[in-house]
């Protein structure tokens, strides 16, 4: 089964725009991969390339095939996922990079439905922040596991509240 996600750039206070990822979007997989890419670009002094390349993709895999030198300045953005266009039911994780703070916020999809919603076969989901990381620090699998554990705690509290 696929674990879908989104890699995004922060725009404004709460908005973001990003691209779709179909497989292995857990923090220990996609989260670590995003961190490694951003950390590497920062060390090379090319962090501005991340946004430029990402927003001209449709999917995360496209990002690695697109070379910065192949982009023209007038090329249109093709990234299309936003908080209003993406559905938390189908996008389990969102990794939002803020170029100003050089941090990535990790969001996870959690159910926010009431018991009555379930009785009516309507499940509502929303994203909640489960953690984040600074791209200037070395990528760390343990931090990603802790972020994953935080999501599991949130889900356990939700299940307890439903019972």
Q: What is the pLDDT along the chain (163 residues), one digit of tens a residue?
A: 689 999 999 998 889 999 999 999 999 999 999 999 999 999 999 999 999 899 989 999 999 988 776 777 677 788 889 999 998 989 999 999 999 999 999 999 988 766 666 566 566 888 999 999 999 998 888 998 999 898 888 888 777 766 6
Number of DSSP helices (H) and strands (E) in the chain, helices first: 5, 5
Task: Tell me the whole-structure pTM to 2 decimals.
Answer: 0.89
Ordered DSSP codes for 42-92? HHTT-THHHHHHHTT-SBHHHHHH--GGG--TTPPP---B-TTTS-TTT--
């Amino acid at each position: 089964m696929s674990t879908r996600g989104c890699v995004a750039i922060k725009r404004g206070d709460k908005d973001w725009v990003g691209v779709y990822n179909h497989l292995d979007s857990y923090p220990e997989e996609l989260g670590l991969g995003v961190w490694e890419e951003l950390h590497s670009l920062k060390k090379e002094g090319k962090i501005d390339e991340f946004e430029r390349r990402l927003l001209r993709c449709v999917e995360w895999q496209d990002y690695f095939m697109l070379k910065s030198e192949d982009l023209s300045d007038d090329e249109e953005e093709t990234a299309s996922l936003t908080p209003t266009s993406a559905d938390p039911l189908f996008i389990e994780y969102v990794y939002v990079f803020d170029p100003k703070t050089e941090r990535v916020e990790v969001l996870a999809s959690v159910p926010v439905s009431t018991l009555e919603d379930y009785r009516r076969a309507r499940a509502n989901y929303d994203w909640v922040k489960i953690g984040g990381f600074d791209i200037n620090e070395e990528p760390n699998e343990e931090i990603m596991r802790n972020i994953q554990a935080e999501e599991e705690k949130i889900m356990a509290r939700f299940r307890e509240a439903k019972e």
